[in-house]
């Protein structure tokens, strides 16, 4: 397929010849300076600027920006805010192939950033271009930073007609990025995070992915070489914020998060404690997708989404808290061999500490507790085929 690459200018990451100026503009941004101060508050401004400018010397591409700037920051976050991380990529190869990673969505910023570090550490030839909603690009420095970090923009809040046009454009760009630019891509399996951790791939995401290719839906999806990716956190640092939002929406169905809420979620997701983090790659769907090539268009996306869900669920790393939450909710103690009494006491204490962080009118502690427990139990139900 021939592409008019100028049509992608409004959504694409920076080209390499734009990186030098983008870095200069980023360093001059006052709000970005405040962010840097938060990472090293003890360091004088002149010294901080000197260190950052030195880090950027010789950065001439978005990949170099990721390696020189983002990788050290992500590694710092992993050291400070997790007890370790692991990556099962045995089903894919660090060779000439490029992949579109479609994953469950745990963190607004880190899902893709950690994947990039893991790909780099395991000798994959390039990291990922990242799909990110423009609702998060609320300040100029954020937009510059994510475009330097190989992000392309997903437009939100559009009319049905605008949404169709935007989806077609984004899909064409993704096919171009994989087949012509030879980049990997990361995209979440649904719009927004599954706040109850009941991870399901939206048919609409697969329909969008298929728009920009050639041939049948199956043939178009095959161009993208999709890998179902599972992300597992031992602890979700945003669990209490998600529970809070559940009650606010329960009490006021018209409730919507503010820009400040999005920033709070981003900051908490990055700097909150996560325990162990595990990423698991399933085999590319190209190994089985031809089984669905004769299905009607009205059925094919649902069938592929359900198969991808089974792959993603099978890749969960289950932790003690997941089993404890499932047993508390069912009151059946089915998984009692997976944890000790002391583990349960400590997890109950953790849940209570999360609820204590929530400050809202008419706080419903029983409801909030059930919501947080459900977040931790759903991976058990999905992986093991059980229900509460």
What's the mean pLDDT in 45-73? Answer: 78
What's the mean pLDDT in 286-306? Answer: 96
* Most confident region among 3-12, 159-168, 281-290, 293-302 by mean pLDDT: 281-290
- From residue 238, alpha-carbon distances to 245, 261, 264 in Å are 11, 11, 9
The CA angle 135-34-129, to the nearest 5 degrees, is: 45
What distance in Å separates the CA atoms of residue 159 and residue 207, rounded to the nearest whole number?
A: 18
HEC secondary structure over 70-130: HHHHHHHHHHHHCCEEEEECCCCCCCCCCCEEEECCCCCCHHHHHHHHHHHHCCCCCCEEE
pLDDT of residue 388: 43
Tokens coding 260:
């400040």
- Inter-residue contact 86 to 278 (CB < 8 Å): yes
User: Which range, of 204-208, 253-257, 383-387, averages the lowest pLDDT?
Assistant: 383-387
Residue 77, C-beta contacts closer than 8 angstroms, at least 6 positions apart: 110, 270, 271
Give the right CATH number for 5-237+272-314 from 1.10.287, 3.30.1340, 3.40.1130, 3.30.2310.
Answer: 3.40.1130
Q: What pTM, to 2 d.p., does this model score? A: 0.92
- From residue 81, alpha-carbon distances to 19, 236, 274 in Å are 30, 11, 6
Burial-class residue 152 by CB neighbours within 10 Å (0-12, 13-18, 19+).
buried
Q: Please write the tens of the pLDDT for every residue from 321-367.
A: 999 999 999 998 899 999 999 999 999 999 999 999 999 999 999 99
User: Is the pLDDT confidence value at 380 over 80?
Assistant: yes
Mean per-residue pLDDT over the chain, rounded: 91
- Inter-residue contact 225 to 178 (CB < 8 Å): yes
Location of structure tokens 């700097």: 271
pLDDT of residue 58: 76
pLDDT band at 195, cuts 50/70/90? confident
Q: Please write the tens of the pLDDT for every residue from 56-68.
A: 777 889 888 888 8
pLDDT of residue 336: 96
pLDDT of residue 66: 87
pLDDT of residue 338: 97
DSSP 255-275: ----HHHHHHHHHHHHHS---
What's the mean pLDDT in 7-27? Answer: 90
- Inter-residue contact 153 to 134 (CB < 8 Å): yes
What distance in Å separates the CA atoms of residue 156 and residue 158, rounded to the nearest whole number?
A: 6
Q: Report, in angstroms and rounded to the nearest whole number, the Rg of the chain calculated over CA atoms.
A: 21
- From residue 308, alpha-carbon distances to 107, 282, 286, 356, 383 in Å are 20, 9, 11, 37, 13
pLDDT band at 107, cuts 50/70/90? confident
For the chain, the domains span 5-237+272-314, 320-384
Helix (H) or strand (E) holding 226: strand 226-233
- Among 302, 284, 312, smallest CA distance to 222 is for 284
Tokens coding 93:
């190869």
Q: Please write the tens of the pLDDT for every residue from 246-286.
A: 999 999 999 988 878 877 888 899 999 999 999 999 999 99
What's the mean pLDDT in 8-34? Answer: 88
- SS3 state at 228: strand
Q: What is the DSSP letter of 155?
A: P
What's the mean pLDDT in 4-26? Answer: 91
The CA angle 308-202-162, to the nearest 5 degrees, is: 140
pLDDT band at 45, cuts 50/70/90? low
Residue 220, C-beta contacts closer than 8 angstroms, at least 6 positions apart: 175, 209, 210, 211, 212, 213, 214
pLDDT of residue 42: 62
- Among 183, 187, 138, smallest CA distance to 15 is for 183
pLDDT of residue 135: 78
Q: Please write the tens of the pLDDT for every residue from 142-190.
A: 889 889 889 999 888 888 899 999 999 999 999 999 999 999 999 999 8
What distance in Å separates the CA atoms of residue 186 and residue 115, rounded to the nearest whole number?
A: 9
- SS3 state at 152: strand
pLDDT of residue 12: 94
pLDDT band at 196, cuts 50/70/90? confident
pLDDT of residue 53: 67
């Amino acid at each position: 397929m021939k592409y008019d690459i100028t049509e992608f200018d409004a959504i694409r990451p920076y080209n390499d010849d734009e990186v030098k100026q983008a870095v200069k503009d980023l360093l001059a941004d006052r709000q970005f300076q405040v962010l840097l101060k938060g990472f090293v508050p003890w360091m004088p401004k002149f010294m901080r600027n000197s260190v950052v400018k030195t880090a950027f010397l010789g950065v001439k591409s978005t990949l170099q920006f990721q390696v020189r700037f983002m990788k050290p920051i992500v590694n710092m976050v992993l050291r400070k805010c997790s007890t370790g991380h692991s990556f099962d990529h045995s089903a894919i190869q660090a060779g000439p192939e490029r992949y579109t990673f479609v994953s469950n969505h745990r963190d607004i910023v880190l899902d893709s950033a950690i994947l990039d570090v893991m790909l780099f550490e395991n000798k994959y030839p390039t990291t990922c271009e990242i799909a990110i909603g423009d609702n998060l690009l609320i300040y100029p420095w954020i937009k510059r930073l994510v475009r330097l970090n190989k992000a392309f923009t997903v437009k939100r809040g559009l009319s049905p007609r605008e949404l169709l046009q935007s989806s077609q454009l984004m899909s064409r760009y993704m096919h171009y990025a994989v087949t012509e630019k030879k980049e990997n891509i990361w995209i979440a399996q649904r719009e927004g995070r599954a706040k109850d951790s009941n991870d399901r791939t939206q048919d609409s995401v697969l329909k969008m992915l298929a728009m920009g290719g050639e041939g049948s839906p199956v043939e178009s999806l095959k161009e993208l070489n999709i890998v179902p990716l599972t992300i597992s956190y031992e602890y979700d640092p945003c669990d209490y914020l998600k529970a809070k939002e559940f009650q606010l929406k329960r009490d006021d169905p018209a409730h919507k998060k503010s820009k400040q809420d999005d920033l709070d979620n981003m900051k908490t997701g990055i700097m909150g404690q996560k325990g162990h983090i595990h990423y698991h790659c399933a085999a590319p769907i190209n190994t089985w997708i031809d089984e669905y090539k004769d299905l009607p268009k009205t059925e094919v996306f649902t069938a592929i989404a359900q198969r991808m869900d089974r792959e993603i669920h099978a890749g969960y790393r289950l932790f003690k808290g997941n089993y404890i939450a499932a047993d508390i909710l069912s009151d059946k103690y089915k998984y009692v061999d997976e944890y000790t009494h002391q583990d349960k006491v400590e997890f109950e204490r953790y849940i209570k500490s999360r609820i204590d962080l929530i400050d809202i009118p008419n706080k419903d502690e029983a409801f909030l507790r059930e919501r947080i427990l459900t977040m931790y139990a759903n991976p058990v139900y999905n992986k093991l085929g059980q229900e509460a």
